[in-house]
Each structure stands twice: as C-alpha cells, then as structure tokens.
Structure 1
C-alpha cells in the first residue's frame, strides 16, 4: 500500500547566474527510472552545448524512498548531485527529479561554491513548483476475459484508478492501482462483473 505524500504538480524551470555561470534548474514528477531517463534525454537535446547536466531523483515516499540516485556529470565528486538530493530530501517531496544544467562562465567556483550554486538552484525550483498530494492507493490483481477489459478500464477512468499492466494469455491478468477510499466500490464492481480479484496488502 502506498501512503500519501507530496509530489511536484508538474514540470517547472528556473534559471540563476553565479559568477557568469548559468544554472538552469528543472523539476519534473517521475514514477520510474525510465521516466528519469526520458527527462534527462530531453535536457541533453535542449542543451547540447551545456558543460554539465547534474541531477538527483527520489521515487517513493520521502524518508523511505524506494529508489534514489544522483549524478555529478563531470563536476568534482559530491559537489552537484549530492547537494541536489539533499535539497529534495529537505523539501520532503517524493516522485521527483531535479536536473541542473550548467553553462560555464569562465570563473571557477571552487568546491564550496559549486555546492552552494547547485543546492541554491535546486532550492529555487523546488520552492517555486506547486505540490499535489499523492493519494494512498491499493494494488489489486484481477483475472478477467478479453470482453471485460474495456468495462474495467472505463470504471478506472471514472474513479481515479489506473490499469498499470495487462498480461494476455488464456485469460487476462491485470494489475490495477485503486484509491484506498474506492476499494470497496472496486470490489463491488468486480463482484457484479463476476471478476476474480484480490488486493495486495
């Protein structure tokens, strides 16, 4: 069961300048490593001439994240990715990626200056982005026929649930994320449709 926690409401970009170096900070909501890779690829495409694209992300509940990672992208070790991740953790936000794109301005900042610049860029964009609360959801496994798939998807659309995966074999197996407060209604729907289901606790 996933508990509620704040996540970024959407994508946002903020730019700062420190001793002629440009720091372009981007924040984006992410739910998987593939989404992180897609955002990083987009940043590289948008800024092919940038000296560094440093980043950090945290997926899952703040304080007990399922996954977190960081990258200094050529900056001295510990001067970029770690300060960005520290700000993410301080902001108590989950499912979040922060990228800081740097264009070098010709003046070296030193290790302490880099830490302050990257942390400051991350702080600025995370303070500006709107937050939404990720509602608690419960995972369900459903066995159904091909004919039942469309009614299931329709119910999910109407009730804020999502079909996360579907495996097609002799019968169809679906994984569904159901808002915790809709679990009873979901069970009633499955009973009415004569679908075999179970909740993962």
Structure 2
C-alpha cells in the first residue's frame, strides 16, 4: 500500500450566504468509528444549528469501503454528495468534513445549496496542512545478538522500527516496515545476513 496524504491538524472556516451561516470543519479521522464520533461531537457543540451535513473518507483515499455522507435534512444530493466530492477530489485520506448550517430564513435552492456546501469544503481544504501517512506491515524475526546492530541500521535507512524485543538464547524481534516496500526490505535483510534472517509476516 502506497503512502498517502492525511490532515496534519483540524481546520475550521466560516462564511455567511444569504443570512445563513455555514461553518465547515475538517478533522483527521483514522477509521469509520473516529469519523462518526467526530460528527456526533460537532452536533453536540452546535445543538441550535438547523443542519449538520457531513462526509468522510475514513481510510486511504482510494478505499471505497470507508466512505460515508449525509444531507441531514437538506434536499437529497445537495449537501453530503458535494462535500464527499470535494474530499475525494482532494486525494486526502482519513478525513471527515462536517458543515454546520445556521438557517437565516432565505432559501438557497438546490443549486445554491450544492455550491454553498461544496465551496465551504473547498475553502477549508485550501488551508488544510497535510502530512504523508506510510502504512506499515509487521513482521517477526529471530536473530543472533551480533546481528542486532545491522538490523537497526537497515531499519533506520528504510523508515522501519523495532516494536518489541525478547532476549533469550537468541533475540526475538517484532518490527514494523513501510508496507509498500516491505518485500524489497525483506530481501535486503535476507541477502545482508547471507540467508540466515527470515522475516515472518504477522
């Protein structure tokens, strides 16, 4: 699995359109449960708002299994889908957008609503700081004490890490490797150790 961008921190933007106030909030949410929890949090913070429309891409940006959206009482297709469309177009993963609307008494029409919800998210995305997430894969490894330094050096070079070590007659190590190049790293370790180090995927 390739690295992908995720939000580095939350963002909030607010705008008024024909007396209605739209507050767009973006939040890093790794997983569907985190996304749903954020939606509930915003609803509890804005109980007087007329609508809390939302969408999320809760996993990697290309994972269609972790998408969701809601119009929350707005006409069908005028809020949740435009919000989701902006999130998917951004190529960012593990992100949830909630747009809170305080109704100002003037109807915007379906086209006006689509623009209001979509543009709010577009505006928030423009100021969103992002960072790269590198999906990890875990492996088990048994090695001699004399091989630990070589293993640690290689892990530093490739962005891996030791999660757990148990010292006995030999050393049992649980380690984490960048998933997208794990197979190549496993081969490098095998070659460096002249075939004595075999990694078992967890």
TM norm structure 2 = 0.71
1:138 equivalent in structure 2: 136
Whole-angstrom distance in 2 between the partners of 1:162 and 1:56: 36
Structure 1 pair 103–126 and aligned structure 2 pair: CA distance change class (3 A): same
Q: Who is 2:171 aligned against?
A: none
**Aligned equivalent of 2:146:** none
Alpha-carbon shift at residue 161 of structure 1 (Å): 5.5
Q: 1:11 to 1:162 in 2, by over 3 A?
A: farther
Partner of residue 199, structure 1: 201
RMSD over equivalenced CA pairs, Å:
3.0
Q: CA deviation at 1:197?
A: 6.6
Alignment of structure 1 residues 108-123 onto 2, 5 Å: 108-123=107-122
Deviates more, 1:31-40 or 1:18-27: 31-40
Q: What runs of 5+ residues in structure 1 fail to find an aligned partner?
A: 144-154, 164-174, 189-195
1:21 matched residue in structure 2: 20
Residue equivalent to 1:99: 98
Unaligned runs of 5+ in 2: 142-151, 164-173, 191-197
TM-score by length of 1: 0.72
Kept in 2: contact 1:13–1:27 (CA 8 A): yes
Inter-partner Cα distance in structure 1 for 2:69 and 2:161: 31
Q: 1:31 to 1:177 in 2, by over 3 A?
A: farther
Q: 1:23 to 1:67 in 2, by over 3 A?
A: same
Q: How many residue pairs end up in the alignment?
A: 167
Residues 7 and 28 of structure 2 are in contact (CA less than 8 Å); yes or no, is this contact kept in structure 1?
Answer: yes
CA distance in 2, matches of 1:161, 1:61: 22
Q: Please list every run of at least 4 consecutive aligned residues from structure 1 whose deviation after the TM superposition is greater than 6 angstroms.
A: none
Q: CA deviation at 1:46?
A: 1.0
What CA deviation, in whole Å up to 9, does each residue of 1:94-153 have, x standing for no partner? 111111000001100011100000001110111111111112x3322659xxxxxxxxxx
Provide the rounded CA distance (Å) in 1 between the counterparts of 2:162 and 2:21: 40
Q: Which has the larger radius of gyration?
A: 2
In the alignment, what sits opposite 1:78? 77
| Contact 1:3–1:61 (8 Å) recurs in 2 | no
